Amino acid sequence: MNDQQWRSTTILCILRNGKAAMAGDGQVSLGQTIMKGNAVKVRRIFGGKIIAGFAGATADALTLLEKFEEKLQAFGGIFQRAAVELAKDWRTDRMLRRLEAMMIVTDGKKVLLLTGTGDVIEPEDGIAAIGSGGNYALSAARALVKHSSLSVSEVALESLKIAADVCVYTNHSITLEEV
């Protein structure tokens, strides 16, 4: 059994003053080796109206991203309903249940964290983070939101930079999207 573990991703989403920004780093590591430094883990979907970021096994995360977009189509773009329906399927479907990934999604009005255990979490402060450096980025974002007048995109970017300075599984190749 291979004891090396794939580690990748810090994804952060912030909702503030009617705008949402999501940022993610580009590092993918296997054990102590950086396998890729410019992976894109934050994407616009559903005609650019929704931003999704993912952490975990890449193929699993891309499958979830595709399934979420299918749910958006099926439910006429009703964001929260699509998220709940995906979480239900993820928890109960034999194939989906084995997927090892997490997602953060936003439509600019809500931020939702989706997990394979059926959770659909809307953070009360509008800030969510996942991945190896998620807690570092989350802490930085909360401090910057509370103690600065930076824009939502500036907070997301600065928080990811702070996480990259602290977490060895996070780098400075940052993708940033705002809606």
Catalytic residues: 9
Beta bridge partners of 14: 21, 127
